[in-house]
Structure 1
């Protein structure tokens, strides 16, 4: 909960500092398709299978071509988990969920037309839900690239490609040194590439 509060405080602080320069804000509705990823650790393996992702974001423009955004994204993929012998350990109960709460920034490149290419990145927390182990909260980040297609109305469409990741502690490895055994924390990371579209409702101050 502390991570969520920190994100909110930072987001509101940025808005406050740039309130006089801000030009508009957008309500963004996200839809996308994430491709699978495979994880291997200490003889065990897991798959994060393909699946659809959806979410919502609030984007505030601190200048004409730059914005900050707080967004929530969710996907509900199957996550089969395999033992060292290749047998699935969660057979019949492999449904899970990936949640992202990210604060990020986006830069739009002004082309003088209704097509605005953009680059963006964000960081925050990721929440993994599984029937076996409940919920876990981890560091998460994303990067994205795409194009915003403006229309004559308040609605615009964004087409983008993105990479999302979250990192979880997965135990310790021990190494023998001159001073004796030393334990080192091991980490496992999820990397999912995706393609998506965003429906944006744009509002002027």
Structure 2
């Protein structure tokens, strides 16, 4: 993960040093993300199905504002959860995978000027990486998987003071499993495995804080 974070931090440093910015914000996030099921069939009697359970997701972001109406944010999200799965392949069975779900995203934001200094609606898209940490891997099973990810979000900043705002936000994060290979879960003692190419969608509702820094 360090190999991924270092270039992103360097990018943030370059943007903050050279861009003519209207402002910089530090954002903190907390949300509940809902269950997401995946179901993959290879033949009528070969399949894998499961669910990534919902739960609390936290995050932090560094946002640069080239103008009052636009923002660029480097953001990290984290959820610790479980994924119960069942499979029928060379062998059949059930297991529960302990997962850490990480997103490292670069997003654009468009702010809507309503003429109200307190309420600041916004929306935007995100692109980046989803990193799945398998905390209890089977023998010969990898412990980390990196996938292409995208996202979208709608929300509003409610400015309590000139520098601090409460955030209310709905978001959708998607890990595209077919991008560069499937999310691999071993099938237990057989030493074989199956791959799912299902796209994972995680919908979340939550909020957070936004703090203006600098000027």
TM-score of the two chains, using structure 1 as the length reference: 0.82
Q: Is the 8 A contact 1:37 1:191 kept in 2?
A: yes
Question: Where do 1:26-175 residues align within 5 Å?
Answer: 26-41=25-40, 42=42, 43-84=47-88, 89-90=94-95, 93-113=96-116, 114-130=118-134, 131-132=136-137, 133-168=142-177, 169-170=181-182
Q: Secondary structure at the match of 1:112?
A: coil
Aligned residues: 187
State the 1:5 CA deviation.
Answer: 4.4
State the 1:187 CA deviation.
Answer: 2.9
Q: Secondary structure at the match of 2:8?
A: helix
Q: Where do 5+ consecutive residues of structure 1 fail to align?
A: 172-184
Q: Is the 8 A contact 1:15 1:62 kept in 2?
A: no
State the 1:138 CA deviation.
Answer: 1.0
State the 1:94 CA deviation.
Answer: 2.8
Provide the residue aligned with 1:25 in structure 2.
24
What is the distance in 1 between the residues matched to 2:166 and 2:160? 8
What is the distance in 2 between the residues matched to 1:170 and 1:70? 26
Q: Would the alpha carbon gap of residues 186 and 99 (structure 1) be closer, same or farther in structure 2, given more than 3 Å must change?
A: closer
What is the root-mean-square deviation of aligned Cα atoms in Å?
A: 2.3
State the 1:136 CA deviation.
Answer: 0.8
Q: In the TM superposition, what whole-angstrom CA distance separates every residue of 1:150-204 from its partner, at most 9, and x where no partner exists?
A: 1224210110110001122229xxxxxxxxxxxxx98321101110102111124
What is the distance in 1 between the residues matched to 2:108 and 2:146? 22
What is the distance in 2 between the residues matched to 1:151 and 1:186? 45
TM-score of the two chains, using structure 2 as the length reference: 0.78
Q: In the TM superposition, what whole-angstrom CA distance separates every residue of 1:71-119 from its partner, at most 9, and x where no partner exists?
A: 111011210111139x7522xx432110001111111101111111101
Q: Where do 5+ consecutive residues of structure 2 fail to align?
A: 184-194
What is the distance in 2 between the residues matched to 1:149 and 1:158? 6
